[in-house]
């Protein structure tokens, strides 16, 4: 009998890197009741709000962000350039790369950020 073992996750697929796309799937979804009942990824509300604020600030300069992304050779370069040029954190820059730069998406993020601010203000 041959035993097979699971291969270790490469650096590319670490748990921290998989959390941000899960967060965006929640934000980008349609506003169906059934989809809103899903749980959030393991991330504090303050960290989520930090990501949302950085992304919303980058939406104001959408054309500049798009030109940085087009000019970058790979993902790591794009993250570094976004951090340098726009003053974003690593989480904000990584999240911005995974996000479609559409107005509908921006509206959903703004709505979610307002909800978090209200919840944290209590």
CB 75 within 8 A of CB 97: yes
Quote the pLDDT of residue 68.
92
Whole-number Cα distances in Å, 63 to 50, 58, 59, 117: 22, 9, 9, 27
- Residue 77's pLDDT band, with cuts at 50, 70 and 90, is very high
pLDDT at 47 over 70: yes
Tokens of 52: 């949302």
Fold designation for 15-28+42-121: Topoisomerase; domain 3 (1.10.268)
Cβ neighbourhood burial of 9 (10 Å; 0-12, 13-18, 19+): exposed
- Residue 22's pLDDT band, with cuts at 50, 70 and 90, is low
- Enumerate the domain spans of the chain: 15-28+42-121
* Whole-structure pTM value: 0.60
């Amino acid at each position: 009998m041959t035993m097979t073992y699971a291969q270790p996750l490469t650096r590319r697929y670490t748990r921290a890197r998989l959390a941000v796309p899960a967060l965006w799937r929640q934000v980008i979804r349609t506003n169906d009741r059934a989809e809103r009942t899903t749980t959030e990824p393991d991330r504090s509300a303050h960290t989520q709000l930090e990501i949302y604020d950085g992304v919303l600030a980058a939406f104001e300069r959408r054309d500049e962000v798009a030109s940085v992304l087009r000019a970058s050779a790979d993902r790591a370069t794009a993250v570094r350039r976004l951090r340098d040029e726009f003053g974003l954190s690593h989480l904000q820059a990584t999240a911005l790369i995974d996000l479609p730069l559409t107005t509908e998406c921006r509206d959903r993020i703004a709505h979610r950020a307002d909800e978090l601010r209200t919840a944290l203000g209590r």
